[in-house]
Structure 1
Amino acid sequence: MNARNQIDLQIMWNRLIAVVGEQAQVLIRTAFSPIVRECEDISAGIFDLRGRMIAQAVTGTPGHVNSMAESVGHFLRHFPIETMKDGDAYITNDPWMGTGHLNDFVVTTPAFHRGKLVGLFSCTSHLMDIGGLGCGPEGTDVLMEGLSIPMLKLIDQGRVNETLMAMIRTNTRLPVDTEGDTYSLAACNDVGVRALRAMMDEFAIDTLEPLADFIIERSYDAVVEKIAALPRGTWSYDMTIDGYDAPLTLRASLTIDADGVQVDYDGSDPVVPRGINVPLAYTKAYTVFGLACAIAPDVPNNAGSLAAYRVTAPAGSVLNAPYPAPVSARHIVGQMLPDMVFGCLRTPLPDRIPAEGTSCLWNITVRGNWVPDGQDTTQAFALAITTNGGTGARPGLDGLSATAFPSGVHGTPIEIAEIQCPLIFWRKEFREGSGGDGETRGGLGQIMEIGSTEQRPFDLLAAFDRITYPPRGAVGGKDGAPGCVKLAGGRELAGKGLQIIPPDETLIIMTPGGGGLGAPGARTETRRQADREGGYV
């Protein structure tokens, strides 16, 4: 390949990232659910005809992006490319072929250019309510957790599957939002198709194959080069987290050798009877994200950069849950996995690895009935108010406060939450002193005090962790503060499970702080003075 061709391909690569960026922005701007509109809990990407992810939008969560990377292969198994027509679109929310639980819809759309199939656009977003017990961990099998959509055709050559849409509307407490979110997924893929056609016309190409090969080969080679510079060996790490009604132990073994990086979760606890189990695709998604952060953070995420990493977990373990295990709150365990990867890599790569953080999102998922301002009838509401704790301290840098890592979603603005449901936030501020002490300090959690504007109770679908087992410090650093869920009247609430909040009570949520890194005695007086002046301690 001559230098001119390589330059042309690099320009097209950058343009392709812009195409999927436009796809993602359309999804965000047209979505009905605040968790998509405000928090960007999505993924968007383009794939070649072999099902390889060529490019992803910068916006998106690892759990969606990296599991979507596998889901397109499942779509191709059910809908071979020779059967696809211009104007088709396909949908599923199967946790084992999608992104890990029923509340995520995945839509895949074939892209035709001048009558020829040239690629596939796929996207994912979180829908707030799809029936069943709701987005909480109470279910004892996936059938209790909501409407299940197998691999189906959503749109057939431009004609919407009205039977399927009627089923979706009927099986949700929020029919308008759920229908609107489904159409937003299909619409963003259509915009991606149009942008791709314009790009292909501009560069006068009629196939994406040479570009796909260039992107994937270059990315793979870049990651392999990074891995080749690492020490060879095997390292292990254990973590105990709260679990549902008993502690849950995760174990990982990480090997770096000539074939790449292998992470195996043999020894982790088996599936549990409540919905915090993790399908393997979601386990892989967050594991490879942790690997990418530590090993090759500057390499774009695509099928090539992912190919050098291998992830395994024993069938029947909590990290490879089989159907029909309950999986609704799979993020509770799955988002701990970058910390597991970091723990394994702390010995060979000590200058890159942070301490443990809160890791799993502290989403305040609420549900109930209310009469919105200006209305005269009672309506149902269901909302996930995205909140976060502190991240772990980093080598040379303190942890980030109230920041969603590894998820990356934005926190729900208070103003939006108070418009969407009858809750009022009396208090929302950093939790002083919650970050673990160390040479570098863990990020702070938050304190929130939440009441209701209605004289009726509301449901809290609790799915919190790091209450009994807080984020651990490393290399002599102190642990972060544990999380806490309680009522102002003094009653402690469980970290997981459906609980009723009385209308005259105030719900208090305290998210965990991140663990500290290095001995506290090594923290400079300048930093300690800054901590005091900033109100961190």
Structure 2
Amino acid sequence: MTPSFSDPIGLEVRWDRLAAATDEAASTMLRTAFSTIIRESNDYTVVLMDRQGRTMAESRAGIPGFAALMSSLGAVVLDRFPAREWQDGDCVITNDPWIATGHLPDIAMITPIFHRGVLVGFAGTAAHSPDIGGTPSMGATDLISEGILIPPLRLFRAGGVEQGVKDLLLANVRLADQLWGDLEAQAAAHAVCRRRAREFLDDFGEPDFERFATEVHALADAALRAAIRDLPDGVYRAGVDADGVEGHPTHIECAVTVSGDRIGIDYAGSSAQVPYSTNSTLNYTRAYSMYPLKILLDPATRTNWGSYQAITVTAPAGTIVNPTFPAPVVARHLTGHLLSCAIYQALAPVLPDRVIADSGGAPALRVRFAGVDDDGRPFSQMLFANAGMGASRDKDGLSTTAFPTNSGSGSVEAIEVASPLRFVRKELRADSGGRGRRRGGLGQDIEVHNPTRRPVQMVLLGDRERHPALGLAGGEPGATAYAVLDTGERLSLKSISQLAPGSSVVISFPGGGGFGAPEEREPHLAVADELSGYVRPPAVDREQTGEESHR
């Protein structure tokens, strides 16, 4: 029997099974990936799409913002490679930031699904590669400096490798074995998706996904529209400021328009694009606008293409949230992650019980270490670690938890195995959460040591040195971020430097904003904070620790 709204249990069973297929495929990719970025930090997505390239099911781990991009990517790929040209075993890849996930290190892959000789859908993945060539720093002034740009092209044709494409790609990166290993891991995930999709159609007696996709798209769309209708019509505005780069502070101006069952988000008035890597392409801006709204308004319904049809996102061309080619974009998250703060600040007057204060991890702070060990082996590792989330009206913010991305921090032991680096300490950062009736989540302090006889290159990509995560409803801001060498030298969070042999660096991740007036916090919770070490007693001389100057 074909599932329908009159058979919600049958539809849920089918939808859950297809979602489970994407989760199984994601597990395959995690277990076969070469780099720690995928294995440990979950910087990927896996989706199943219908014949039009619209997502039907999305993996429940990985980066949800990526999943929001896959339908628009599918439309572009199908425009370049029409359905009649696909063969079983084909594979198209791209990392074009304007059509994929916003910067060159993320490689998206799409493969067709054939059932009984007929094209019925597509599998899609996107994953952060360990290396894409170029200059891994804020020093790039255009896209071409940041690495190799891959337009949509076939990596596999009818199951065979396009050797020329492979050779060209691997000749332009430093870690060819890791990159190719991760691409093969993505391909393995696609194989799982294809197999499970065919089994799904056989088991439920369906010739294709068309009727199923129509149902789940309509259901997701209806659920979000119903949530939007509960909001009062109006235009809600907020502005968010961030450090930016070298005399170019970032300003995000956000207007959220609620009209019936639709929401429009417009970023007119935001900063102009800059000759630095903090520009966020419009598709990335859309993804990190739609995802925060989805989890705010309709967190229970699974996401697919239908989840995003009631939301429109616009921004003037030439702005930092809609730059024109060939703007540098490798650190686009330093702008894109801020959008959730602007949206939630704008909607706080009408949804005070559901929004959260600014998160310290919006934007995320990333650190890339690269060098050669004492045996002459090159290495490159990205440190994914998380700051504190903002508090809500009813709950303290989560400590060391990513938002609006949900990338994992991974295991520092895995990084130690894959590189000569040593982690001296990794601990919660006292007093980093903004005070309030509900306290902001804590950041963390991470100390990294270089035990080798050679310097290690260190690239810092972060923000919130001067602009902390703001509180809401009288809550105080969280602590700002900083990095300091064991010599006492402060490092810019947008810099490239050397970690000398035998030296260490301490990276302090920021805290989330508080919610509500601090004097309203219940006494027993204040005592518990002190006993747990989350908040130091007033008698502690913060000037001695140097902490006060970093708030």
TM-score (norm 2): 0.94
In structure 2, do the counterparts of structure 1 residues 504 and 68 end up closer, same or farther at CA, with 3 Å as the change threshold? same
Alpha-carbon distance in structure 1 between the residues aligned to 2:142 and 2:177: 27
1:243 Cα deviation from its structure 2 partner: 0.6
Letter in 1 for 2:167: A
1:234 and 1:253 in contact (8 A); partners too: yes
Alpha-carbon distance in structure 1 between the residues aligned to 2:354 and 2:6: 37
**Residue 497 of structure 1 pairs with residue 495 of structure 2:** yes
1:9 Cα deviation from its structure 2 partner: 3.1
1:352 and 1:395 in contact (8 A); partners too: yes
1:78 Cα deviation from its structure 2 partner: 0.6
**Could you say which residue in structure 2 is the equivalent of 1:192?**
193
Tell me whether 181-190 or 260-269 shows the greater mean CA deviation. 181-190
**Could you say which residue in structure 1 is the equivalent of 2:304?**
302
**Could you say which residue in structure 1 is the equivalent of 2:227?**
226
Alpha-carbon distance in structure 2 between the residues aligned to 1:354 and 1:2: 36
1:438 and 1:521 in contact (8 A); partners too: yes
Q: Secondary structure at the match of 1:426?
A: strand
2:252 and 2:270 in contact (8 A); partners too: yes
Percent pairwise identity: 37
**Could you say which residue in structure 2 is the equivalent of 1:94?**
96
Q: Secondary structure at the match of 1:60?
A: coil
In structure 2, do the counterparts of structure 1 residues 476 and 6 end up closer, same or farther at CA, with 3 Å as the change threshold? closer
**Residue 368 of structure 1 pairs with residue 371 of structure 2:** yes
**Could you say which residue in structure 1 is the equivalent of 2:30?**
28
Alpha-carbon distance in structure 2 between the residues aligned to 1:3 and 1:161: 45
1:421 Cα deviation from its structure 2 partner: 1.5
**Could you say which residue in structure 2 is the equivalent of 1:268?**
270
Letter in 2 for 1:369: V
In structure 2, do the counterparts of structure 1 residues 444 and 117 end up closer, same or farther at CA, with 3 Å as the change threshold? same
Q: Secondary structure at the match of 2:244?
A: coil
**Could you say which residue in structure 2 is the equivalent of 1:110?**
112
1:137 and 1:327 in contact (8 A); partners too: no
Alpha-carbon distance in structure 2 between the residues aligned to 1:168 and 1:381: 19
**Could you say which residue in structure 1 is the equivalent of 2:525?**
527
1:2 Cα deviation from its structure 2 partner: 6.7
In structure 2, do the counterparts of structure 1 residues 258 and 487 end up closer, same or farther at CA, with 3 Å as the change threshold? same
**Residue 475 of structure 1 pairs with residue 476 of structure 2:** no
Alpha-carbon distance in structure 2 between the residues aligned to 1:272 and 1:417: 33
**Could you say which residue in structure 2 is the equivalent of 1:174?**
175
**Could you say which residue in structure 1 is the equivalent of 2:456?**
458
Q: Secondary structure at the match of 1:328?
A: coil
Tell me whether 88-97 or 358-367 shows the greater mean CA deviation. 358-367
2:459 and 2:496 in contact (8 A); partners too: yes
TM-score (norm 1): 0.97
In structure 2, do the counterparts of structure 1 residues 172 and 2 end up closer, same or farther at CA, with 3 Å as the change threshold? closer
Alpha-carbon distance in structure 2 between the residues aligned to 1:25 and 1:437: 39
**Could you say which residue in structure 2 is the equivalent of 1:374?**
none
1:62 and 1:406 in contact (8 A); partners too: no
Alpha-carbon distance in structure 2 between the residues aligned to 1:397 and 1:120: 41
1:393 and 1:399 in contact (8 A); partners too: yes
Cα deviation digits, residues 288-340 of structure 1 (max 9, x gap): 01111211111211111111111111100000011100000111111111111
**Could you say which residue in structure 1 is the equivalent of 2:342?**
340
2:228 and 2:261 in contact (8 A); partners too: no
Letter in 2 for 1:505: S
Q: Secondary structure at the match of 2:120?
A: strand
Q: Secondary structure at the match of 2:46?
A: strand
| Uncovered stretches (5+) of structure 2, i.e. residues with no partner | 536-551
Q: Secondary structure at the match of 2:490?
A: coil
Alpha-carbon distance in structure 1 between the residues aligned to 2:259 and 2:10: 35
1:225 Cα deviation from its structure 2 partner: 0.8
In structure 2, do the counterparts of structure 1 residues 124 and 524 end up closer, same or farther at CA, with 3 Å as the change threshold? same
Of the candidates 5, 13, 16, which is equivalent to residue 15 of structure 2?
A: 13
Alpha-carbon distance in structure 2 between the residues aligned to 1:469 and 1:7: 48
Alpha-carbon distance in structure 2 between the residues aligned to 1:45 and 1:402: 27
**Could you say which residue in structure 2 is the equivalent of 1:440?**
438
Letter in 1 for 2:187: A
1:356 and 1:392 in contact (8 A); partners too: yes
1:25 Cα deviation from its structure 2 partner: 1.3
Letter in 2 for 1:503: P
Alpha-carbon distance in structure 2 between the residues aligned to 1:231 and 1:350: 13
**Could you say which residue in structure 2 is the equivalent of 1:393?**
391
**Could you say which residue in structure 2 is the equivalent of 1:76?**
78
Q: Secondary structure at the match of 1:242?
A: strand
**Could you say which residue in structure 1 is the equivalent of 2:541?**
none
**Could you say which residue in structure 1 is the equivalent of 2:140?**
139
Q: Kindly report which structure 2 residues correspond to 1:52-67, keeping only aligned pairs within 5 A, or say none.
A: 52-67=54-69
1:102 and 1:147 in contact (8 A); partners too: yes
Alpha-carbon distance in structure 2 between the residues aligned to 1:210 and 1:62: 25
Alpha-carbon distance in structure 2 between the residues aligned to 1:380 and 1:139: 23
